[in-house]
Each structure stands twice: as C-alpha cells, then as structure tokens.
Amino acid sequence: MTRFALSMRRRPAPLRSLLVLACAGLAACASTTTINNYQRARIGAIGPGERLVVLSEYQNVAVETEGEFIGCVGDSLRESGYEIEVIDHRAFIDGMYPYFEAGTAPTSVQAISTLSQDPVAQARMSDLNVRYLVWVEGDTATIDKNGSMSCTISPAGGGCFGWASWTNHGFYNAKIWDLKLGIEASTFDIDAKGTSHLIGVVVPIPLLANVESSACKALAHWIAFAVQGG
C-alpha cells in the first residue's frame, strides 16, 4: 500500500486533474429533483402586506422536520426575488405560543376557524398578517451504500485508496393553507435523489450531491408559484 501511495504522487498533474473532472461529472449527472402530485385551488395571488410562514408538520411524523431545512426554505423564498414576505418559523411559533406548539397546532385548515374564535389567537394572527401557512413534512435519508476505502500511514508516507458511494433520497410534502379563504390552496411532493462519491487517490476526494439543498430550493420555487397565482 505504501508503494502505491508513493507511485501515485509521481503521476503527472494533468492525469490527476482529468480523474477529478471525470468523477465530478459522474456525481453531477447523478442528482435529480422532481415534483409530484401537484394540486392547486383557483385562488388569487398573495396581496401587498400579506405574509407567509413555513412550518414543520410535526403532528404526523415521529421527529420534527429539521429546523435548518425549514429555515432553508424560508431563506430561499426571501432571497429568490419573488417579493414574498416570509416570517421566521421560530418567531411565528413564539409569537403564537402556545397555539402552534407540537401537539397543539391545528391539524387541518378547518381547525384554523376554531382557532380564530379564540380572541387572543385571533389578535396575534391579525398582528402577524399571515395569509399563507405552509406545512412541510419529510426528511432525507441514505438508501444505498457501495464500495470501500482504506488508508495507511507509514514512515515512508501514506495515503488512501478505494472508492465509495452512497445515495441520498429526500422526500418532502408541502401543504399550503390560505388562511384568508379558509381552504387548502395547494399541495405537492418534492422527490430528490443524489449519489455522492469518495475517491481515494492518495488524498480522499469527496464529490457530494447536495440533495437537501436541491429539495429546499425546489420547495421554495413551487411555494412561490402557488401563492403568486402561478
């Protein structure tokens, strides 16, 4: 293994670069993001001053969808140029305490009508001026692993040799509630898959498919499409 590591250090730089470029191309071709089951009611676009909040639908899953992912969707909406005012999900939950805590949040758009009969909840919701409430459920998991990697260290040198790959699958469902009309305005699924590679050529070379980032941006795009009357 040491002889291999030393001989690889003598390889011409162009050959190493060619290997990296080829592997990078392989990783890039292995990522896909699709939208499924898209449904949308015939409603108008979000109006001036009206706001939107993205929350995790923790009533239906064992673990709340990662706060970082929910934050990513909100940030992507703010930075996308769609001119949609998005409330931070944590600020919304704190401002509506205890109405949107795990176990107490409304589980259907019809339950919002009951919530609006509470004068305190109604006053807080009015202050926040939320038109659309988006529930997101799902996660990203590793579904397949292949290959192996071994590394050695010796007085003469060291390095890693081998190849490993793994596939991540992200599946997310979004439900968009129109609080003004009291209806479910839209629902759709985002299905994202990507294969990452780790190439061992003396120094491990990671070629990663960022599945969560792709799913986050796709969710933001289709949420904006729905609430803008697209």
Give the pLDDT confidence of 80-110 residue by residue, as tens digits. 787 889 999 999 999 999 999 878 888 888 8
Q: Tens digits of per-residue pLDDT, 40-75?
A: 887 778 888 899 999 987 644 445 556 889 999 999
Residue 230: pLDDT band (50, 70, 90) is: low
Mean pLDDT value across residues 141-165: 81
3-state secondary structure the chain: CHHHHHHHHCCCHHHHHHHHHHHHHHHHCCCEEEEEEEEECCCCCCCCCCEEEEEECCCCCCCCCCHHHHHHHHHHHHHCCCCCEEECHHHHHHHCCCCCCCCCCCCCHHHHHHHCCCHHHHHHHHHHCEEEEEEEEEEEEEEEEEEEEEEEEECCEEEEEEEEEEEEEEEEEEEEEECCCCEEEEEEEEEEEEEEEEEEEEEEEEECCCHHHHHHHHHHHHHHHHHCCC
Give the pLDDT score at 96.
92
Reply yes or no on whether the pLDDT at 124 is more than 50: yes
Give the pLDDT score at 160.
81
Structural domain for 50, as ranges: 2-227
- Domain count within the chain: 1
